[in-house]
Amino acid sequence: MVISNISLKKDEQFVTLSADIAFRNKATQQAYFMVLRNYETFVIDDATPFLAAFLVPCMKTRENIYIDDTVSALVLENTNEIMSLLKRSNNDLYKIKIRTKRTSKNVSNSSYIGSFFEADVDTFYTYLKENSKKTPITYFIYAHGLHDYLQSKDYSLEKEIVINKIAKDQKMNAIFIETNIGSLIDERLHWNFVYPGSVESAALFLNRDFKKIFIPETNKNRSITFDALWSTEAMTVQHGKSTHTYSEKIKQIISKSSLALKYLHVCSQNTKNGRNCGHCYNCLATMIFLYTSNTLKKAKTFEKKIDIDHVKKMHINYSKKENILIEKALEILKRSHIDNELQKAILYSLEKNKRPGVLKNAYLHVKSINLFTNKVKELEGKAKHISTFKTFKKSSLRALIK
């Protein structure tokens, strides 16, 4: 891969850091990070963010990286250890060579501390645990276009509204970054695989004016050591370490915070007014744990009662191991002898998702509900004659629907 033509451009509203990137045997594309002009003093003018963003994809495809510009000397020095860590946790990754035109040592006397924040359980947990009078977190950071790049602009704007309300409540500031890193990586590799390095790249984009940036612990292929190795001479990247599971975060921190109970936003749908939809996987899992902590009725962004029908219809992705969280919720309910009806609904949902029928597999394979509009009954009838879904390709499905 070649990373070149690093450019920092400013207009009346935004400051944009961009780079031309060229994967092996692929056309040149432009990667970018963008932020409001108010925060231009935070923005670094070098290639370090792009090195962080594209290191893992290049390790997967065994592509050496040449950077025709400047990167942080400390980050470049640490890449060998970063690659060793990644390779130990994934046998499909390979160490590669990284060359750069030049290096620099970033210097800053800033005292600002930031934390990536989405108003969900993991990011609220990090903020509430790490924020203190001695070292207060002064900025929330939200980056649209990383793991949420498939979400609509409306979803991003709704998140910004919620985060701005919390920032105002806490007398803080919020910085909103826009990037196309997520979509560029997903063209090359599956996004869940390349998550390490992406959030770090957004942190490095703001390297000039932060003393420290926290990256919340989300159990997504990162560690205390991994995050720290992306620190520069001027800024520390710190992992929001946690020994707590998702359910424990809710019980021990979230349920005891009036701030979190007022604004908690975990929904994956495009909801309005800071509300959670109450029927997606994220919402239902969180509601069940709030319920077992006796705080669901205090959570202002959720319905006060769990809809049993929504639980039965909940989609649980076993390939992403979403069943583990729901099984934990069921275990807590059983151990506490709470709500037999809810327990039965969770068990039904787990079994239904563990052994999906042909129709459900077809829907997930095609990934378009429009293909099923007004044709579901017809498709169900014809699908009964199909013995195995493995031979049932997209073309066959479309033919059935037509």
More confident residue, 116 or 274: 116
Q: What are the tokens at 148?
A: 């949420």
- CA gap 227, 212 in Å, rounded: 12
Query: Which spans in 176-229 are helix H?
Result: 181-188, 198-205, 224-228
Residue 79 lies in a domain: yes
The helix (H) or strand (E) run that includes residue 148 is none
In a domain, 246, yes or no: no
28 and 114 share one domain: yes
* pLDDT in the model for residue 194: 45
Residue 85 has pLDDT above 60, yes or no: yes
pLDDT per residue over 205-242, tens digit each? 999 999 999 998 764 545 667 889 999 999 999 987 77
The kind and range of the H/E element at 167 are helix 153-169
State the residue range of the domain holding 392: 358-401
Q: Identify the band that residue 187 occupies on the pLDDT scale cut at 50, 70 and 90.
A: confident
Phi, psi of 119 (to 5 degrees): 65, 20
133 part of a folded domain: yes
- d(CA 388, CA 399) in angstroms, rounded, equals 17
**Same domain as 153, residue 32:** yes
Strand partners, 176: 142
| Residue 249 counted as domain residue | no
Residue 12 lies in a domain: yes
Q: How far lies 260's CA from each of 126, 296, 399, in Å?
A: 12, 12, 49
Asked if residue 59 and residue 11 are part of one domain, the reply reads: yes
* Spatial separation of the C-alpha atoms in residues 135 and 138, rounded to whole Å: 9
Judge if 74 and 201 occupy the same domain.
Answer: yes
The answer on 320 and 209 residing in a single domain is no
The Cα–Cα gap between 72 and 63 comes to 21
Q: Cα–Cα distance between 20 and 384 in angstroms, integer?
A: 50
Q: How far apart are CA 95 and CA 235, in angstroms?
A: 26
Asked which of 19-28, 102-111, 170-179, 231-240 is least confident by mean pLDDT, the reply is: 102-111
Q: What are phi and psi of 224, to 5 degrees?
A: -60, -45
Residue 93 reports pLDDT greater than 50: yes
Is residue 294 domain-shared with residue 191, that is, in the same domain?
no
Among residues 207, 240, 273, the one where a domain terminates is 240
Confidence (pLDDT) at 363: 43
* C-alpha gyration radius of the chain: 23
How much is the pLDDT for 380?
A: 46
Q: Are residues 20 and 85 in the same domain?
A: yes
Q: Is the pLDDT of residue 390 over 60?
A: no
182, pLDDT greater than 50: yes
pLDDT at 61 over 70: yes
**Residue with the two structure tokens 């001695």:** 134
pLDDT value, residue 226? 83
Alpha helices in 61-140 (DSSP H): 73-89, 121-130
H helices of 8-152, where?
48-60, 73-89, 121-130
Assign 308 a pLDDT band (cuts: 50, 70, 90).
Answer: very high
List, for residues 327-356, the tens digit of each pLDDT value: 999 999 999 998 999 999 999 999 889 876
Q: Are residues 144 and 65 in the same domain?
A: yes
Q: Distance of CA 395 to CAs 228, 367, 383, 386, 388, Å?
A: 47, 13, 14, 14, 15
Query: Do both 167 and 289 map to the same domain?
Result: no
Check whether residue 338 and residue 374 sit in a common domain: no
Instruction: Identify any residues that bridge with 99 across adjacent strands, giving them in sequence order.
Output: 66
The last residue of one of the domains, among 240, 274, 307, is 240
Name the CA dihedral angle for 35, 274, 221, 32, rounded to a multiple of 10 degrees.
Answer: -20
| Within-domain flag for 121 | yes
Q: How does residue 156 score in pLDDT terms, banded at 50, 70 and 90?
A: confident
Candidates 247, 230, 246; CA nearest to 238 is 230
Specify the pLDDT at position 2.
96
Confidence of residue 395 (pLDDT cuts 50, 70, 90): very low
- Out of 183, 206, 240, pick the residue that ends a domain: 240
| Confidence band of 320 (pLDDT split at 50, 70, 90) | confident
How many Å from the N-terminal Cα to the C-terminal Cα in the chain? 43
Task: Tell me, yes or no, whether 392 lies in a domain.
Answer: yes
pLDDT at 72: 96
Domain count, the chain: 3
Distance from C-alpha of 345 to C-alpha of 314, rounded to nearest angstrom: 10
Q: What is the mean pLDDT of residues 29-49?
A: 96
Statement to judge: residues 163 and 51 lie in one domain:
yes
Mean pLDDT value across residues 70-93: 92
Nearest Cα neighbor of 35 from 59, 15, 5, 61 is 15
250 within some domain: no
Residues 49 and 117 in one domain: yes
